[in-house]
Structures are given as structure tokens and as C-alpha cells.
Amino acid sequence: MPTAMAAARADSAYPRIYRVVRRIPRGRVASYGQIAILAGLPGHARQVGYALHTLSEAGVPWHRVVNAKGEISLGDDSGVRQRAILQREGVRFDARGRIDLGRFGWELARRG
């Protein structure tokens, strides 16, 4: 019988993060901090970013995760790619490259 400690260690945080990201509906975005909270890791927003950075799994809509300002956090070509995908899903960006989280932010309490 494995100890509780071993069991907790066996379930690393990354799969939980991926599971939450997969729940983000199409046409919506969530912040890193929000993902961390929903994954049961409050305050670990940075680890969410790292989890997505080292992401090798398929089927995870990583592009629906942006920072708390509604801005894309990637500076290189990946950022351009992320923005294009989001726009294809119907997410609108303002002139400064920011998303209105009041309109496109993922809110669980809201139906739709």
C-alpha cells in the first residue's frame, strides 16, 4: 500500500493543469492565474505558464490561455500564431492587442 505522500507525488500538477485548460470553451479565454485556481493550485500561475511552455501533449487548447491583462504573453512567432487562432475562434483584439475579458473571459458561474 503506497503512502498518501507517494500517491500525492504520483499525481503531478501538469495533468491537472491540462485537464482544466481542456475545459475552456471555444471562443473564450482564461488567465494563467484562473487556470491555477481551477486546478487547485492557487498562486501558481507561473507554473501554469511553464506547464504550457513545456507542453508536449496534443489536444490541449493552450492558445486559450492569456495573462491577467487579457494580453498574449508570447513575444515571438508563437504569439502571432496564438492570436490568429483566437481570432479564428471569434475572439476580438483591440488596437493594443488586448482582449476584453469582460466579454471573452471564461466565467464558470455564467451560463454561456
Among 39, 44, 99, 104, binds DNA (CB under 7 A): 44
* DSSP β-bridge partners for residue 99: 93
* DSSP category for residue 65: E
User: Which positions from 45 through 104 interact with DNA, judged by CB under 7 A?
Assistant: 45-50, 52-55, 62-63, 65, 67-69, 73-74, 78, 82
Residue (25 or 42) nearer to DNA, CB: 42
Q: How far is the CB of 3 from DNA (least distance, A)?
A: 19
Q: How far is CA 32 from CA 3, 29, 61, 91, 100, in A?
A: 31, 10, 13, 17, 16
CB neighbour list of residue 88: distance below 8 Å, 6 or more residues apart: none
Binding residues for DNA, rule: CB under 7 A, are 13-14, 31-33, 43-50, 52-55, 62-63, 65, 67-69, 73-74, 78, 82
